[in-house]
Chain A
Amino acid sequence: MSAPSPARIVRGEITSLVEDERAALYQQPQPRLQIGRLLVDAGLISDTQLAEALRKQIEWGSKLGDTILGMGWVKPLDFYRVLARQLSLDFVNLLHNPADESLFEKGEYANYAQELYLPWRRVDGILWIATADPLATALASRWASRTDIRFVVTSKFDIIWDLQRVAGAQFSEEAVLSLAELDPEHSARTVVTPNQKWWLAGLPLLLLISTCMFPLPTLIVLNTLINGLLFCSFVFRTCLCWMSCDDNIGIAIQPEEVAALHDADLPLYTVLVPMYKEPTVLPILVAALRRMDYPKSKLDIKLVLEEDDHETIDAAKLLGLPANFEIVRVPQSLPRTKPKACNYALRLARGKYLTIYDAEDKPEPDQLKKVVVAFRKLGDDAACVQAHLNYFNAEENWLTRMFTLEYSLWFDMFLPALDELRVPIPLGGTSNHFDLAKLRQVGAWDPFNVTEDADLGLRFAAMGYHVGVVNSVTYEEANSHLGNWIRQRSRWIKGYIQTWLVNMRHPVDLFRSVGWKGFCSFQLFVGGCILSGLVYPFLVFPFIVWLLAGKNMMQALFPGPVLMISMANLIVGNSCLIYISMLAVAKRRHAALLPYALTVPGYWALQSVAAYKGLWQLITNPFYWEKTAHGISKYTEAELIHSAASD
């Protein structure tokens, strides 16, 4: 039995095809050689490139076209024109001949994006489908029973562009409202629920009355409570660090496990890069993604840009990106946040796994493969794997050193230990790798929460999913300017407060869903982070007064026990922070930073400034996204040169 020609398939005779014949069609060398030969004949690739592509095609287990496009040897439009010629189909440029939007079915938008096709036109009772892959199995089975179907070839970019033109408004609305409507109890759209308002108003009132009636006992009780919580938080963090001093903590993927992977077995991987007005640092990320040790034909990279961010869009276009990069333009709507942009792009994601990188990120080349191994090791309940984050400009100034100390502490010490304890992990801003199906199932990111990743980590835990931490690092640019740092940090603390408020709407439910360990860890880790930022000045103040004014003055301001508890906590807390920071950099083997850990208390004072700014903003402008400027480090230029050289 001879295989049917591709032309027959696209002429509506697809019903006669059976699965094994279609498989045979892919396995036969002739069609592969044909498209390759046509590309060579058209002068688009050389014979050497064709030979290399055929070798890679087998190694990667991809189609020849995807392999060639992934390598960036042919412009997508040229490729799809040749593909149309090979299949004896017409090629259509959707930018010039857009699809008839009346043919679009709202329920089918997800399929259009996943399977890369659109209903293009209906002429004389014949429905013309524009597709980037007329030989796709899913497409064939979808139209198997229809005889009124004809196909035209278009590029996948045209499909994505045209789909956004028609469905963009709906995608945007879903990106903003889907979580708030499906699961309002877990959305930060309502900052404070009516019940929480009663608590927030009632407690200070009670405190005021109590202070007026019993000033000293009230002060002692309040101080003991706050300091007790803080003390537990410091001890908890020290225990986490002590646990993480073990080299074997977390998911340690060895190089031989990565080497044992077969590229042909790797799944399609979506990479989202949300950006806003960051044209300068874009080449760093593009170079890093090009260096990734992952089949290029299996990368679905989306630069998620705001519609009005023309400078970054133009910069992306000028980079001459290969076909596995796409530009997704997010329509303007409020709130203008990164999670909303990610939710929008999620509608267009096609991978089995999905990750997020910031514009200036430099992930280690084998990160995606390590994550694939990690997911396989973790089993079915794994929803997310977080990679470690660190900085490439640690040595720039005191602030970047402190920031590096803090990130080493957070990602090398805290998160692996939280993973070991199987308690909720507040995810970091980038390099979190998701199982796409599970991400969609939990409602993806909350666009109203400005630390959407931390919130998502908790939601995963509440739904019984496991979040792991993998031993791969992504290097970022540490904030080197104080103002910029405070803006970023205030957003983080504001987001932490939002996350705490959302999860504490029903504390009993939270306790039931994450267990006592998860509940305590959430209070000590997330709650402790907020509390320490806010009360730090009240701990330092007695100490400074004591130094300047002497003990008599102190006794008037702070009665004996109050002073003693505050002082003890100040000493214990700062000692813990200093030492665990030292351990963190020792683990990361960044020995030059070790003495700087002694200055950590100064850094925590800055944290307090940001905490109060964040709190104020939560009251006045809760959903405002304080944008962090990237590309301001003096190391950025060197990174750009390095990126250009590596390209």
Chain B
Amino acid sequence: MVNATLMLFVVAFSGRHALGPYFDPVMSGVLILVSSSLWYLHLQSAGMPVSWNVVFSALLAGQSVVWICSHPVAEIGDWQRAVGCAAFAYAMLWVFEVHESETGLRSLATAALLLSIGVLAKPPLLICCALLTVAVFFDERQQRGGLLNSALLLLTPVFLCTIGVIALRALAVEGLARLDWTIDTNSFDPAPLHLYSLPWQMPALPFCAAVLGIRLFSRKTGSADLAFLLLLVVLPTLGMAPWMPRPMLPLDITMTMKWGAACLLALDPPMSTFPRLVALASGSYTMYLCRG
């Protein structure tokens, strides 16, 4: 199923010229399908019953559909970029959780390689995740030969990728500028965040609060929860920084929060009905708020 949906994604992306003006809606549909399928699988692998998996996956898809239907087509591009950022945050939180249960180098390598993909996300999110990664893997410093070596292991891929992107962009400035498949990192209209209006711009808050509450009450909290909380605080702060080259939209933060909460829910799903119902109710309310 995942292969089929991923294939759909590749087909839709490669056929973007043929799709013309329909590209964005088609791509959004594929993105919703891919993300819901992956979340379904994650929930399934964590032991959630199939019926609940279907309900939750439909909920995630429904939130996106509601948002797309209630916003102008011009904003779909922003939504797609926000999905990219949210997927990155989801994967990072997942790795932080894996780090707690897995010995060896693999979780560290996964975090480092994921961070390198983060050069395609918005800088505030990348910086935020890099800081969180260093903090979460701080306990490995003795094992890896000190702080400097740990930092080298964690940050070399993202550092090399940044150099690579800069080099490729430098090459593309003149002769290669016409190639539209070069990496496009800054092509949207910045709409700065405002602290006073932030809570009202974030429909994902009920869902986040419910998931964190469920995990807290069922004593399942770990470094992923702490990282998620820090992300919720640091990301808007960095996003509002005037020196930041690519400021965050409220939509980015909403999506990151929503997907982060979804990740926490899938890492160790509630095993009894009541917390599942709470998660479902909060998710439904979030969907209602997504109308804008």
Contacts and interface: CB of A to CB of B under 8 A. Distances in A.
A247 B104 contact: yes
A578 B156 contact: yes
A595 B182 CA distance: 31
A11 B164 CA distance: 84
B157 A575 contact: yes
B169 to A, nearest CB: 11
A543 to B, nearest CB: 9
A245 B104 contact: yes
Interface string A549-572: 001001100001101100110011
Interface in B153-211: 153, 156-157, 160-161, 163-164, 167-168, 171-176, 178-179, 182
A242 B153 contact: no
B39 to A, nearest CB: 23
Interface string A568-611: 10011011001100110011010110110110000000000000
A606 to B, nearest CB: 21
Nearest to B156: A579
A546 interface: yes
A509 interface: no
B171 A583 contact: no
Interface residues of A, number: 34
Contact of B145 (A242, A247, A563, A594): A594
A359 to B, nearest CB: 32
A637 interface: no
12 contacts: A245-B108, A246-B104, A551-B174, A560-B176, A560-B178, A564-B172, A564-B176, A568-B168, A571-B167, A587-B105, A591-B145, A591-B146
- Which 10 residue pairs across A and B have the least CB separation, nearest first? A591-B145, A245-B106, A245-B105, A247-B104, A571-B164, A575-B160, A245-B109, A594-B149, A555-B175, A591-B149
B220 interface: no
Contacts of B212: none
Contacts of A564: 168, 171-172, 176, 179, 182
A173 to B, nearest CB: 50
Nearest to A567: B171
A560 B168 CA distance: 12
Contacts of A501: none
Nearest to B177: A560
Contacts of A372: none
Categorize the interface residue count of chain B.
35 or more
Interface in A525-565: 546, 551, 554-555, 560-561, 563-564
Which of B103, B109, B152, B182 counts the most chain A CB atoms within 10 A?
Answer: B109
Contacts of A555: 175
B145 A592 contact: yes
Contacts of B221: none
A586 B174 CA distance: 41
Given A242-B113, A589-B143, 5 more contacts: A551-B173, A563-B171, A571-B163, A591-B145, A592-B145
B44 interface: no
Contacts of B106: 242, 245-246
A241 B160 contact: no
B110 interface: yes
Nearest to B143: A589
Given A561-B179, A563-B176, A571-B163, A242 B149 contact: no
Given A245-B106, A564-B179, A578-B160, A546 B152 contact: no
A594 B152 contact: yes
Contact of A586 (B105, B116, B160): B105
B95 to A, nearest CB: 12
B112 interface: yes
Contacts of B179: 560-561, 564
Nearest to B161: A575
Contacts of A567: 167-168, 171
B164 A575 contact: yes
A597 B179 CA distance: 33
Nearest to B145: A591
Interface string A232-247: 0000001001100111
A241 B157 CA distance: 14
A583 B109 CA distance: 7
A242 B161 CA distance: 18
Contacts of B108: 245
B105 A579 contact: no
B144 interface: yes
B38 to A, nearest CB: 19
Contacts of A582: 152-153, 156
A446 to B, nearest CB: 36
Contacts of B144: 586, 591
Contact of B153 (A575, A589, A594): A594
A241 B112 CA distance: 13
A289 to B, nearest CB: 33
B193 to A, nearest CB: 33
Contacts of A247: 103-105
Contacts of A546: 171
Q: Which of A563, A568, A591 has the most CB of B within 10 A?
A: A591
Contacts of A568: 164, 168
A551 B171 CA distance: 8
B147 to A, nearest CB: 11
B159 to A, nearest CB: 9
B157 to A, nearest CB: 5
Contacts of B103: 247
Nearest to B171: A567
B171 A586 contact: no
B175 A583 contact: no
A572 B173 CA distance: 20
A555 B182 CA distance: 17
Interface in A149-181: none
Contacts of B112: 579
Interface string B237-253: 00000000000000000
B145 to A, nearest CB: 2
Nearest to B181: A564
A122 to B, nearest CB: 67
B1 to A, nearest CB: 22
Nearest to A247: B104
B178 to A, nearest CB: 8
Contacts of A589: 143, 145
Given A242-B110, A571-B168, A583 B145 contact: no
A580 to B, nearest CB: 9
A589 B103 CA distance: 14
B184 to A, nearest CB: 15
Contacts of A595: 149, 152
A572 B106 CA distance: 20
A557 B178 CA distance: 19
B281 to A, nearest CB: 40
Interface in A433-489: none
Contacts of B152: 582, 594-595
Contacts of A554: 175
Contacts of A238: 113
A571 B105 CA distance: 24
Nearest to B109: A245
Contacts of B163: 571
Interface in B269-285: none
Contacts of B161: 575
Contacts of A574: 160
Contacts of A560: 175-176, 178-179
A254 to B, nearest CB: 15
Contacts of B160: 571, 574-575, 578-579
Contacts of B104: 245-248
A105 to B, nearest CB: 57
